[in-house]
Amino acid sequence: MSSDITFSIIKPDAMGREDEGKILTRITEAGFRIAALKMIHLTLQQAREFYAVHHDKPFYPGLVEFMSSGPVIAMVLRHENAVEEFRNLIGNTDPEKAEKGTIRADFATTIQRNAVHGSDSPENALREAAFFFSSLEIF
């Protein structure tokens, strides 16, 4: 697998508003190639595992409840310098601080319900991609 991948989730808030088509268009028009994609409704336990790195944070219980509250779209994306480029495309975690024109500025409502996930390092991108997809499912 190329190291120029990142992993993303379209979160339940954006799915509930049926914004997934618009968000996918933003992503592909920014030059990301979809290498894997699936819709899945995480169990609470799966959401806890995915966000285990945050288990000590005060926002963890609310976050895992939210992330298991409805279906999401999980995907692996290819681009040169994918992790950093994708973080630039989605913007700050807090939509109030997200730069104009970013996905979170346009689609997120709160710091928790912030529309999309993006990996924070190439190592975590590989780990997160492997959490959702087998190597045979990544193109």
Specify the 3-state DSSP secondary structure of 1.
coil
Nearest distance in Å: CB 120, Mg ion: 5
CA 36, 25, 10, 122 dihedral sign is positive
The reply on whether position 84 binds Mg ion by CB under 5 A is no
> Given candidates 114, 125, 129, 133, which one binds ligand UDP under the rule CB under 6 A?
114
Within residues 62-101, the interface with ligand UDP by CB under 6 A covers 62-63, 93
Give the angle subtended at the CA of 133 by the CAs of 127 and 134, to the nearest 5°.
100
Just list the catalytic residues.
117
How far is it, in rounded angstroms, from Cα 120 to Cα 8? 10
Within residues 20-59, the interface with ligand UDP by CB under 6 A covers 54, 59
Two tokens, residue 58: 């005060």
The reply on whether position 112 binds ligand UDP by CB under 6 A is yes
Give the interface with ligand UDP as residue ranges (CB under 6 A): 54, 59, 62-63, 93, 111-112, 114, 117, 120
